[in-house]
Structure 1
């Protein structure tokens, strides 16, 4: 678990309590698709399944989510984005994330799709790359 003063796992260099912490706690919503994607990455890193499920579009959201506690998320790199701004209703984010599992460092690349409904950005789905 990350403490409030630790750097946020999302990679922006801000303290957790000033970055993704308030989104995880439901105190505020992501203003952009990229901010939501970063908060979701951070949620994987800290094991916050509630945030992941709450920000997943209901048409694609799994009934439950079991995270592997032995998996350690190491680094997030945003490669590209389209739309997803404060006045958009759709957006995409391409990212690459490194993680450690079973003693090996691996990379996950995804082209993620987001939609904004009733002012809230939601993760729809993604294509692994």
Structure 2
């Protein structure tokens, strides 16, 4: 379910969805940094927006489809570090911890994600 533009953004930034990840999800803007892309992708997982996730995945590592587990609910995001990935870079990394609740149990996914520019836009490459 897509949140109202005035709702808090799922990515955890102190901004409303309509000013944060919403414009990226709708294709009105592109992420200026690898971290912004990572945050918008986290929000897309929260919202189960497979189209956005696939569009922002590198063409060489993109899966054919995304199957969401209906028993998983993403509950919070911690960005631990970001390396390069600014508007002046072509590669970057973001280390994060994404919290979830799955089938009655709390858990977290810890990952160091790699991002690159493809056709001038940041895309998710893989986990290092």
TM-score by length of 2: 0.96
Question: Aligned-pair distance for 1:117?
Answer: 2.2
User: Pairwise mapping of residues 8-87 of structure 1 onto structure 2 (< 5 A)?
Assistant: 8-87=9-88
- Runs of 4+ in structure 1 deviating by more than 6 angstroms, as ranges, are none
Partner of 2:112: 111
> Aligned partners of 1:67, 1:83: CA distance in 2, in Å?
30
Question: Aligned-pair distance for 1:69?
Answer: 2.7
Could you list the runs of 5+ residues in structure 1 that have no partner in the other structure?
Answer: none
Contact map agreement 2:58 2:118 (CA 8 A) in 1: no
> Aligned partners of 1:81, 1:20: CA distance in 2, in Å?
18
Question: Aligned-pair distance for 1:68?
Answer: 1.6
TM-score by length of 1: 0.95
> Aligned partners of 2:71, 2:49: CA distance in 1, in Å?
14
Could you list the runs of 5+ residues in structure 2 that have no partner in the other structure?
Answer: none
RMSD: 0.9
Question: Aligned-pair distance for 1:5?
Answer: 1.4
SS at match of 2:124: strand
> Aligned partners of 2:45, 2:8: CA distance in 1, in Å?
15
